[in-house]
Amino acid sequence: MLYTGVIWSQNGEIQITGLLVEAETGQPIPYATVVLNSKSTKSTIAGAITNDDGYFDLKTVENDFYLEISFIGFKTLQVKNYTISQNKVDFGTIKLYQDSQMLDEVVVRGEVSKTEFKLDKRVFNVGKDLSTAGASALEVLNNVPSVNVNIEGEISLRGSGGVQILINGKPSVLADESSNALGTITADMIQSIEVITNPSAKYEASGTSGILNIILKKEEKKGWNGSISLNTGIPDNHNVGVSLNRRTEKFNLFTQIGAGYRSLPRENEAINRNLENNEVIFSDGENFRNETFFNVTLGTDYHVNKYNVLTLSGNLAYEIEDQPSETNFSFFDTNNDLVSRWIRNEDTEATNPKWQYEFNWKKQFKSHKDHTFQLSALGSFFGKDQSSLFVDTTLEGLDVDSDQRTSTNFQQADFTFKADYTNPLSKEYTVEAGVQYVINDVGNDFEVEDLIDGTYVINESLTNDFEWVQKVVGIYATGAYENENWGVKAGLRAENTDIGTLLANTNESNSQNFTNFFPSFHTSYTFSEKFSLQAGYSKRIFRPRLRDLNPFFNIRNNFNIRTGNPDLQPEFTNSYELTSIYKIGKASMSSSLYHRYTTDVVETVSTFIDNVNFTTPENIGTNSTIGFETNGKYSPTKWLTFTGDFNFNYFDRKGSFEGQVFDFTGNQWSTRLGSKIGFPADIDVELNGNYRSSFETVQGKQSGFAFLDIGIRKKILKGKIVANLGIRDVFASRIQERFVNQPTFETYNFGRRGRFFTFGLSYAFGKGEAVTYSGRRR
């Protein structure tokens, strides 16, 4: 907009002011560039940046000038007509119009997820993928090449479990399976995910398949930033979230407050077939996990000076659970005659307090920006106070009425202390060293009572008080050389593990103490901008998790019972891989050949007693895997992008358990294809299709399945308001079927979560973009 008027000649300093706003919305534009140029010489006289509210203020002794205003995504504006009155020029409200061509380019670059390759890892930079808008970190992980997440929330990398999850390079309660908290990290909080299939010695040795390191965003905009988000969904998923950030030269204060209600239904079906007497038990039903939740996160970064930053943050959460379920049972005898039919109802209530804190000090040395020392301490607690009532009601045939109740008092405390030092000795050489100490302390008091003659009596065979303490001390050193074309990195890590378990009721204990060395080696060579090669080797360990060790019985379906094994030993894996990265026209791709050899493999094994199927993890032999993986991205136009991922592996299993030999070979594969389409009026549509093949297990088979996710987004007021609609598992085809086929028994288990609809509205204020808060969790 141009202003006209009479030019008055003045002596002395002239003050120039104005307000800059968006022409379409009237919203102020902060941090736009305002330059004062001479009309005669075109040279720059003075310049300024608009403040948080879009105002600018300039001073000059010249009286023959014009304004030039620019801001990314908007057309540059020149204002040459004005009025000088009493040594002041007030331009009033100036409107800036969007540059649609420039905005299109920004959108394409900023919103499409992409993968970068480093010497010893791949970095998946998370864009605003629509099918995961408002979703949890688990659903974001499911879109990352090489990663799969099943309906139980179990994460696999290249088809194998035993993945180590880190948050900002450190263990965290948010990544701990026992706390079920990973789902509370939302897609819009994630900056990138590092996929480390062959970790260097710098990283903790846990995770035989590799490491997934989730990097959270760090707000860099000064002033106040924030967003408010409202979400609803079917099945019930209703929540509200508020995110606030205040950044100054010294401090970055941040907080997030959330509350809501969610329901996670699941269909179940099971068949237990006794091949010795032909008796069969059928069961099917539906269970719910209904939760009311509240959480608050508060933290600050304090920039002591240019070279030292202190971070202190904490999170408090409280959940109230209600878990009703109903399971229908039918028992048929040898002659296929109905013996009994009954319903088992469950009413479970629980409260879950959680907290965590983190302290971090990062020192940067004057010699180099990457010359750093970092010290961190992380503490967390997760508790569960749960009670359940199970009632069996006979519908037909033999009376099997039976009531049981359980109570659980679970507490877990985790502490991690780390020190890391990095020194670039020169442009080519870098050394790293560090130490880490991790403590895991768990107590689980679980009691089962049977209703006998109107009185509840403790079932000693199912009741236990389990204690588990694990301490791991690690120390590492690495050295790297890297020039423009070639790089090599080698390292060695030593870890001492001290584990103790105790079943207090029976006074059964198990102690282990062992020290292991974990070497790593990586190299890469860049032949051209379009082609490079990477190679790597590492040794890893998978320490049994709490759920693997804890002999806790889940009696929701008391004919299909899962329990842990406190005598489990760790797995060890030697991992090798060769990766090529290449570009063909508008397509970029990478392909890998890999080999893993694992000893003392942890497998879930079924045993059959009195028609009851018990599943327990056991150490069974070795697994040798050879695989091929390729993934890529193709963008034929600005408004269309395709992504794809394909993984195939062949495995050779050898081992035995209780006299039975489990030697067999097999293969499994998975593929993912996604497309993102940009429509006019700031509407984007995204489709993601997945397929995972069936594969053979030590006792049977697990079926394959395909599923499709769809996301639609509409931006309003240039992104200040965002509306998202998501449909996950459009055809309700994401199922899990497990078959066990043994000489004396057969079992079948089916599970399905079903279709989910989500809708969310987000509004951003300050200088941030609208982000979506989600209460979803695994």
pLDDT of 7 > 50? The answer is no
Q: 3-class secondary structure for 577-626?
A: EEEEEEEECCEEEEEEEEEEEEECCEEEEEEEECCEEEEEEEECCEEEEE
Supply the pLDDT for residue 776. 34
What letter represents residue 103's amino acid? L
Structure tokens at 722: 């965002």
Structure tokens at 627: 């695989």
pLDDT of 135 > 70? The answer is no
Site of tokens 């902060």 = 30
Supply the pLDDT for residue 616. 92
What is d(CA 575, CA 120) in angstroms, rounded to the nearest whole number? 13
List, in order, residues 6 or more apart from 609 with CB less than 8 Å away: none
Instruction: Give residue 138's pLDDT band: very low, low, confident or very high (50, 70, 90).
Output: low
Q: What pairing do the DSSP bridges indicate for beta strands 77-79 and 44-49? A: unpaired
Rounded (10°) CA dihedral 189, 194, 197, 202:
-110
Supply the pLDDT for residue 341. 95
What is d(CA 705, CA 291) in angstroms, rounded to the nearest whole number? 29
Supply the pLDDT for residue 53. 73
**pLDDT tens digits along 514-547:** 999 999 999 988 888 788 899 999 999 998 887 8
Phi, psi of 194 (to 5 degrees): -90, 120
Supply the pLDDT for residue 28. 78
Tally the residues of the chain.
778
Supply the pLDDT for residue 618. 93
Instruction: Give residue 175's pLDDT band: very low, low, confident or very high (50, 70, 90).
Output: low
Calculate the alpha carbon distances from 134 to 192, 773, 776 in Å. Answer: 16, 6, 9
CATH 2.60.40.10 fits 14-98, yes or no: yes
pLDDT of 52 > 70? The answer is no
What is d(CA 138, CA 154) in angstroms, rounded to the nearest whole number? 9
List, in order, residues 6 or more apart from 118 with CB less than 8 Å away: none
pLDDT of 113 > 80? The answer is no
CATH of 223-766, one of 2.40.170.20, 3.30.420.40, 2.40.160.40, 3.30.70.1290: 2.40.170.20
Supply the pLDDT for residue 774. 38
Structure tokens at 390: 């199970």
Supply the pLDDT for residue 152. 53
What letter represents residue 353's amino acid? P
Supply the pLDDT for residue 208. 62
Exposed, middle or buried, 248 (CB in 10 Å: 0-12/13-18/19+)? exposed
Secondary structure (DSSP) of 11-24:
-S-EEEEEEEEETT
Segments making up each domain of the chain, as ranges: 14-98, 223-766
What is d(CA 280, CA 613) in angstroms, rounded to the nearest whole number? 12
pLDDT of 321 > 90? The answer is yes
What letter represents residue 619's amino acid? N
Instruction: Give residue 601's pLDDT band: very low, low, confident or very high (50, 70, 90).
Output: very high
What letter represents residue 75's amino acid? K
What counts of helices (H) and strands (E) characterise the chain?
Answer: 3, 46
The lowest-confidence range among 27-36, 135-144, 275-284 is 135-144
Element (H, E) at 100: helix 100-111
Identify the residue with better confidence: 144 or 508: 508
Radius of gyration of the chain (CA): 30
The total of other beta-carbon atoms located within 10 Å of residue 41's CB is: 9
At 292 the three-state DSSP class reads strand
Stretch 740-753: mean pLDDT: 94
Supply the pLDDT for residue 153. 58
Per 3-state DSSP, what percentage of the chain is helix, strand, and coil (rounded to 5)? 5, 65, 30
Rounded (10°) CA dihedral 617, 620, 622, 625:
-40
Most confident of 245-254, 338-347, 521-530: 338-347
Identify the residue with better confidence: 578 or 774: 578
Supply the pLDDT for residue 150. 56
What is d(CA 632, CA 580) in angstroms, rounded to the nearest whole number? 12
Instruction: Give residue 112's pLDDT band: very low, low, confident or very high (50, 70, 90).
Output: very low
For residue 1, give the DSSP letter. -
